Amino acid sequence: MNFWSDPINTIYESLMLTFTGWGLDGALAQIIIYVLGILILITFAMIIDILLVWVERKVVARFQGRLGPNRIGPFGLFQPIPDVIKLIIKEDTTPANADKLVYNLAPVLSLGSVLFLWAIVPLAINIYGVDLNVALLYMVATGAFGTLSIIMAGWSSNNKYALLGAFRQVAAMISFEIPMVVVLLIPAIITGSLSMQTITNFQTENFWFFLVSPLGALLFLISAIAELGRSPFDLNEGESEIVSGYHIEYSGMKFGLFYAGEMLHAFTFGGLLSVLFFGGWHGPWSSEIPFLGVVYFCAKALFGYWLIMWVKYTVPRIRIDHMLMFNWKFLTPVSFALLIVTALVHPLLRDAGNWIYVPGMFLSNVLVVWVTVEVLRSRSKKDRTVAETVQAVAHH
């Protein structure tokens, strides 16, 4: 078996022969190999997380006309190392009246909820944790752990500002999960599967889903930013109103776990965007050389992460009532409309060939956008008329 064409199975068989040669039982050897694989995947994710600290600081510096870190290492590349050391050696404080078990468990669960997602993300044609046939449902379910960790942190801190920040963030996460789940059904309808690997393979053999559902990709990106709690949806960190949100009482490495979880979550959402709409690991020779697939996946995920950063450092924070109104009165109805149109157009065009299917599906997205704009224009005109009428009555 060639290592470069099938690295995971090659390593698995080599380790199995080694462990059984040492006299270990086959089942025990398999468990040890699985644990090693999990640790390697977690290590890979955390190394990316450390690099993201440098990437984000460099990008925001460019947005703001600054140099960013440039002292420690070439181009400041080693800056994350002292950052991590600083978090580790800082004093670890716990509020006197906090629920200590829940308080200490919350940051671990926050980071763990992101790492759980990496179990189903296909990094290459045969490099992935597990190919679940209900991977999209698993993705939604693991998101609940992140929501739970936030409410645990806010409640256990015994701080009214932390609790208020947790309530605000959980309200936003639950609200924006609805359009996100609806959009996840679009790749499932096209492929007839909830498996991440099947969705990626379908795009490898046919077309990227961004070409047939660009509006779906945009809705997913907006919902992901809200789910992350990043600007303009970072109401959990409204410093002028609630000091610093649900993690105000955390210090040292406990705060670092929340911070690491947020950054890795943003990169993971960039990876999920690439898997669902941009072909995932698909690229030239990625089927023959799996490690190239990993490079393509990371590049696409980094592009999605850059989009999230672009929005964060460009758009100002909005009020919580405006944010929830935007979700319930705009984002959710549009996502359901797009899902209905996709479910109607897909069976009509799926047997017509890609040259007809792709433009037809794309035009159906254009139709949804056009109808949405017309509805908004009509509503705006109506509100303007009412306002002018009220102003005229008040004037007389």
Determine the 3-state secondary structure of 124 from DSSP.
strand
pLDDT in tens, 5-36: 778 888 888 888 888 888 888 889 889 999 99
Task: Give the pLDDT score at 295.
Answer: 92
Among the candidates 42, 68, 89, a domain finishes at 89
> pLDDT at position 313, please?
86
User: 139 and 38 share a domain?
Assistant: no
H or E stretch at 200: helix 196-205
| Total count of domains within the chain | 2
Tokens of 227: 């789910």
Confidence of residue 345 (pLDDT cuts 50, 70, 90): very high
Same domain flag for 245 and 139: yes
pLDDT tens by residue, 103-122: 999 999 999 989 999 989 99
Same domain, 56 and 118: no
383 or 142, greater pLDDT:
142
Please state the rounded mean pLDDT for residues 273-287.
90
Structure tokens at 188: 């499932």
Q: Are residues 146 and 236 in the same domain?
A: yes
Residue 163 included in any domain: yes
Task: Tell me, yes or no, whether 180 lies in a domain.
Answer: yes
Q: What is the pLDDT at residue 196?
A: 92
From residue 195, how far is each of 93, 210, 284, 309, 371 by CA, in Å?
43, 18, 23, 28, 32
240 and 358, same structural domain?
Answer: yes
Give the pLDDT band (50/70/90) at residue 356: very high
* 355 closest CA partner among 211, 198, 213: 211
Residue 375 within a domain: no
In a domain, 290, yes or no: yes
* pLDDT above 80 for 240: no
In this predicted structure, the answer to whether residue 137 has a pLDDT above a threshold of 60 is yes
Cα separation of 177 and 220, whole Å? 10
- C-alpha 368/C-alpha 143 separation (Å) is 28
Residues 165 and 267 in one domain: yes
124 and 211 assigned to the same domain? yes
Task: Give percent helix, percent strand, percent coil of the chain, each to the nearest 5.
Answer: 75, 0, 25
- 39-78 pLDDT, tens per residue? 998 888 888 888 888 988 888 888 888 888 888 888 888 8
- Evaluate if residue 239 carries a pLDDT over 60: no
Boundaries of domain holding 64: 1-89
Closest CA to 211 of 282, 141, 262, 142: 282
Long-range contacts: 49-54, Cβ < 8 Å, 24+? Answer: 49/260, 49/263, 49/264, 49/267, 50/80, 50/84, 51/80, 52/263, 52/264, 52/266, 52/267, 52/305, 53/79, 53/80, 53/83, 53/263, 54/79, 54/80
Pair 288, 141: CB distance under 8 Å: no
**pLDDT for res 26:** 83
Residue 386 is assigned to a structural domain of this protein: no
The answer to whether residue 221 is domain-embedded is yes
pTM of the model: 0.90
261 near 346, Cβ under 8 Å?
no
Given a cut of 70, whether residue 315 has pLDDT beyond it is yes
Is 393 domain-assigned?
no
> What's the sign of the alpha-carbon dihedral 235, 236, 242, 248?
negative
Residues 78 and 105 in one domain: no
For residues 210 and 282, give the distance between their C-alpha atoms in angstroms, rounded to a whole number. 14
- pLDDT for 244 beyond 80: no
Whole-number mean pLDDT of the chain? Answer: 88
Distance CA 183, CA 339 (A): 7
Determine how many CB atoms are found less than 10 A away from the CB of residue 33. 18
> What is the pLDDT averaged over residues 128-135?
88
Q: Say whether pLDDT at 321 is over 80.
A: yes
For residues 238 and 379, what is the distance between their CA atoms, to the nearest angstrom? 31
Which pLDDT value is given to residue 236? 63
Tokens standing for 7? Answer: 């690295």
Asked if residue 12 and residue 121 are part of one domain, the reply reads: no
Assess whether 238 and 197 both reside in one domain: yes
User: With the CA atoms of 8, 11, 13 and 14 taken in that order, what torsion angle do they form, in degrees rounded to the nearest 10?
Assistant: 170
What gap in Å lies between CA 205 and CA 275, rounded to an integer?
14
Q: Is residue 374 part of a domain?
A: no
Angle between helices 354-395 and 332-349 (to 10 degrees): 150
Predicted local distance difference test score (pLDDT) of residue 1: 55
Give yes or no for a contact between 67 and 61, defined as CB atoms under 8 angstroms apart.
yes
User: Which of 68, 89, 110 delimits the end of a domain?
Assistant: 89
Q: Indicate if the alpha-carbon torsion angle 328, 330, 336, 337 is positive or negative.
A: positive
Examine the domain organization and report whether 40 and 188 are in the same domain.
no
**Contacts of 141 by beta carbon, 8 Å cutoff, 6+ apart:** none
Q: What is the pLDDT of residue 24?
A: 83
| Final residue of a structural domain among 44, 74, 89 | 89
In DSSP terms, which residues pair with 127 in a beta bridge? 124
pLDDT at 299 over 90: yes
Do 292 and 263 reside in the same domain of the chain? yes
Strand stretches in the chain, DSSP E: none
- Across residues 132-157, what is the average pLDDT? 90
pLDDT in the model for residue 231: 79
